[in-house]
Structure 1
Amino acid sequence: MLALTAVTGALDAVGYLSLDRVFTGNMTGNVVILGMGIASEEGLPVAGPLIALGGFTLGAMVAGLLTRGRAAGWNRVVTLTLWTNVIVLAAVATVLTIAAPTGGSVGGIACATTLAVVMGMQAAIARFLAVPDMTTVVVTSTITSFAGETLLAGGLGWVAHRRLWAVVLIFAGALVGALLTRAGVGVPVYVAAAVVLVCAVVGHRYWNRVPH
């Protein structure tokens, strides 16, 4: 789950830096940018964040329908969903590498929206797996819980707490994603696909065998 959280950071970096300031996983950011863009703040996009919001919603809805009514825990649907995400991420990375669409173009918005669909599916899967404090896409509530509960518990338990590391990993993912875009905008997306692939394999084999 921490690895998938890092993927969110990396793909958000790609969306914001290379695809016209569109967040692919952080929908709070898209809502804020959309509001300011509609208010005619110079240079802020409107179409990209709006369509990405729709894509994220669609992805979450599809994953929610696939997991609806199923028993908690990793199952074949979770594995197939993540495998699908791997294929889609690899395809988007290839398009970004070969075609190199600009952020405000139709191709750029399409790539950003496709990444948002993947992030919506990932968020819904994380919600289904229900590891406490591991949403993979939300940071604000995690920081609130960390500051308002974990830090007040006393001792040094906060150092190893998953809330802290969820924030650290999404930051690290964004940092690495931003650095990798210097080698090519498709590079961090390929890396994200590889990480999701590893998570899908490891989760499928070991998730239900260990406590959470």
Structure 2
Amino acid sequence: MNRRLDLAMLLLLTFSTGMVDAIGYLGFDKVFTGNMTGNVVILGMGLAGADGVPVLRPALALVFFMLGAALSGRILGDIGENWHHRTTVIFSGVAVGCAALSLYVALVPDPEIGLAGTIFTSALSALMGAQAAAARKMKIADVTTVVVTSTIVGLAADSSLAGGDNVRWIRRALAVVLILIGALAGAATLMLNQWIGIALVAVMISAAAVIGHLGEKKRRTRAEAAAAVSSNV
């Protein structure tokens, strides 16, 4: 039951990543802040001299994503696969960071232009790197929260059409659909104001942190109660 809750929270974060990438790509000069594969491709085209393709922001996004993931990995340590209080710390920190960035975008004039935009995409990439590292620690197959390419491969390769057994097809399909709908939602928020989408992302990550933490606390309480009963037998 507890792992199903973890899966649900990671699927929620997958949706929020779709929003983040749509906001970064459409609103901040073609930069992915969650999907680093996209940034590698954009960076390659930019280095080749393709017109209108940025180099600096995608490069910095890659660097800061890795820094965020490294810091998250250091904090998490060897916590195992289950939700841990350190997992809550990481996701809570990401939520607070996104909330701060939404305020930043709301207050800074023309936040997508020049240094202001570069600061935003770099900081958001660091936060997404931290989130991705925490999700990776949980080792829930096919749900990384930041990319669905391998998920789509698994969905197709294990399908009945390919002679497979359709293993985990529901979570795989949900991950793909949720990141798609998230991108749609992120693009829609840009029609209103840039800060709104990031604020909604902060709310969703906060919800995932709280629900996941409460679920883990309940699991620990049950485990302690079971251990107490066993010791009294």
Q: Do Structure 1 and Structure 2 share a fold, with TM-score over 0.5?
A: yes
Secondary structure at 1:183 match in 2: coil
Matches within 5 A, 1:153-192: 153=164, 158=169, 161-192=170-201
**Partner residue of 1:145 out of 118, 137, 154:** 154
Deviation, structure 1 residue 150:
3.8
Deviation, structure 1 residue 155:
7.5
For residues 204 and 24 of structure 2, the distance between their equivalents in structure 1, rounded to whole angstroms, comes to: 18
* Distance verdict in 2 for CA 1:63–1:155, change over 3 Å: closer
Does the 8 Å contact 2:158/2:165 carry over to 1?
no
Aligned twin of 1:209: 219
For residues 155 and 93 of structure 1, the distance between their equivalents in structure 2, rounded to whole angstroms, comes to: 40
For residues 52 and 156 of structure 1, the distance between their equivalents in structure 2, rounded to whole angstroms, comes to: 34
Deviation, structure 1 residue 75:
1.1
Normalising by structure 1, what TM-score?
0.93
CA-to-aligned-CA distance 1:140-181 (integer Å, 9 cap, x gap): 1110011001444458984xx100110000001000010011
* Distance verdict in 2 for CA 1:111–1:146, change over 3 Å: same
Normalising by structure 2, what TM-score?
0.85
CA-to-aligned-CA distance 1:106-158 (integer Å, 9 cap, x gap): 11011011110111011101100111111011211110011001444458984
Output the amino acid matched with 2:43: L
For residues 215 and 19 of structure 2, the distance between their equivalents in structure 1, rounded to whole angstroms, comes to: 25
Q: Which has the larger radius of gyration?
A: 2
The answer as to 2:50 corresponding to 1:35 is: no
Matches within 5 A, 1:44-193: 44-151=53-160, 152-153=163-164, 158=169, 161-193=170-202
Output the amino acid matched with 1:114: A
Secondary structure at 1:51 match in 2: helix
Output the amino acid matched with 1:29: G
Deviation, structure 1 residue 100:
4.1
* Distance verdict in 2 for CA 1:170–1:33, change over 3 Å: same
Aligned twin of 1:20: 29
| Greater shift in the superposed pair: 71-80 or 1-10 | 71-80
* Distance verdict in 2 for CA 1:130–1:178, change over 3 Å: same
Does the 8 Å contact 2:80/2:138 carry over to 1?
no
Percentage identity across paired residues of the two chains: 39
For residues 150 and 164 of structure 1, the distance between their equivalents in structure 2, rounded to whole angstroms, comes to: 11
* Unaligned segments of structure 1, at least 5 residues: none
* Unaligned segments of structure 2, at least 5 residues: 1-9, 221-233
Output the amino acid matched with 1:37: G
* Distance verdict in 2 for CA 1:157–1:195, change over 3 Å: closer
Deviation, structure 1 residue 103:
3.2
Does the 8 Å contact 1:6/1:173 carry over to 2?
yes
For residues 152 and 145 of structure 2, the distance between their equivalents in structure 1, rounded to whole angstroms, comes to: 13
